[in-house]
């Protein structure tokens, strides 16, 4: 971790690939991000961009404290007494000390951070569900079914009011998969509960030691973040630079042009703007 302190310099005597430089004042080196940074902060610095601005959860300020020799103070949006919890045992102690009128509550993001998880991958969900079952805990509503900014309550199994448990689907253990008769000959079909989780490659084929499927095998379009927001677009009256900025920022090959009333007007593509204006990124599919 360090601070850029000087302007651009070209060093012709340096090895190829190392000649374009800027001076940096390195504060800490050889750091393990998993030991020093909370999960939400690790997720913030995981950008694919060479340079990106950290805007959420006071990320820049927190990194500055770590660079100065301190530790990550945690997400300021999480209550102070829950901010630096590590592991299910610490969480269980908080739940036991909480009153029934004011149970432990936090966002899904903060809940995942207790396990050091940055997303609801298949392996993370299996670990968390297993730990909850071991300590007799549950989340209401299920942490697997809501956006990461939604709040969940952590309760002892059976403590939630019965109507609440039925309405919100209180979870305590691994989800069960129900076998159904296939419509035609072929592999057996499975109906997986709608967990609403972000599946990684591992979870799509996750099996236990007995080769029994223990996690959902697919993901629906409705669970993708892009399906839950309006499409990015420009107006026919917008300057061309507005389209270029959007296409560059999100690595789009083309962009929808939509009237203010929602009617599709057309699309703008790099081949129409000109190859010389297209960004040179490893994932760009633009052809000259």
Tell me the pLDDT tens digit for each residue of 164-211.
Answer: 444 444 444 434 334 334 444 444 333 444 444 443 333 333 333 344
Residue 215 has pLDDT above 50, yes or no: no
pLDDT of 219 reads 62
Q: What percent of the chain has pLDDT over 90?
A: 20
pLDDT for position 160: 58
Residue 257 has pLDDT above 90, yes or no: yes
The pLDDT of residue 81 is 79
Q: Give the pLDDT band (50/70/90) at residue 20.
A: very high
Contact 172, 130 (CB under 8 A): no
pLDDT at 279: 58
d(CA 61, CA 252): 32
What is the reported pLDDT for 71?
85
List, for residues 60-101, the tens digit of each pLDDT value.
Answer: 899 998 988 888 888 888 888 788 888 899 899 989 988 888
**Domains in the chain: ranges and CATH:** 2-67 (no CATH), 78-221 (no CATH), 230-277 (3.10.580.10)
Q: What pTM value is reported for the model?
A: 0.49
Mean pLDDT of 115-143: 89
d(CA 188, CA 178): 11
- Give start and end residues of each alpha helix (H) in the chain: 33-36, 39-44, 59-67, 87-97, 108-113, 122-134, 162-168, 201-204, 240-250, 270-273
State mean pLDDT over 235-244.
91
Buried b (16+ CB within 10 A) or exposed e, 54-64: eeebbbeebbe
For range 240-252, the mean pLDDT: 89
Q: Please, what sign has the CA dihedral across residues 6, 9, 14, 18?
A: positive
Q: Strands 233-234 and 254-258: what pairing? A: parallel
Assess whether pLDDT exceeds 90 at residue 49: no
- Poorest-confidence range of 96-110, 139-153, 238-252, 272-286? 272-286
């Amino acid at each position: 971790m360090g601070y850029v302190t000087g302007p651009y310099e070209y060093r012709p005597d340096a090895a190829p690939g190392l000649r374009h430089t800027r001076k940096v004042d390195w504060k800490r080196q050889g750091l393990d991000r998993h030991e020093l940074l909370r999960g939400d902060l690790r997720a913030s610095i995981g950008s694919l961009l060479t340079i990106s601005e950290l805007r959420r959860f006071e990320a820049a300020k927190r990194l500055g404290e770590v660079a100065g020799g301190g530790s990550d103070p945690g997400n300021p949006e999480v209550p102070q007494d829950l901010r630096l919890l590590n592991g299910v045992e610490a969480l269980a102690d908080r739940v036991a000390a909480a009153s029934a009128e004011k149970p432990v509550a936090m966002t899904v993001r903060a809940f995942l951070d207790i396990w050091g998880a940055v997303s609801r991958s298949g392996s993370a969900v299996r670990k968390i569900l297993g730990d909850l079952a071991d300590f007799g805990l549950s989340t209401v509503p299920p942490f697997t079914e809501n956006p990461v900014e939604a709040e969940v309550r952590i309760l002892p199994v059976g403590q939630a009011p019965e109507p609440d448990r039925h309405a919100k689907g209180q979870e305590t253990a691994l989800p069960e998969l129900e076998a159904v008769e296939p419509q035609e000959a072929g592999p057996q079909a499975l109906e997986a509960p709608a967990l609403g989780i972000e599946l990684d490659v591992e979870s799509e084929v996750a099996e236990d030691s007995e080769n029994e499927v223990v996690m959902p095998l697919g993901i629906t379009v409705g669970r993708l973040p892009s399906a839950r927001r309006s499409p990015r677009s420009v107006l026919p009256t917008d300057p061309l630079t507005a389209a270029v900025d959007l296409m560059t920022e999100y690595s789009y090959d083309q962009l929808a042009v939509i009237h203010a009333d929602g009617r599709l007007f057309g699309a703008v593509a790099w081949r129409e703007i000109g190859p010389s204006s297209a960004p040179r990124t490893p994932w760009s599919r633009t052809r000259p």
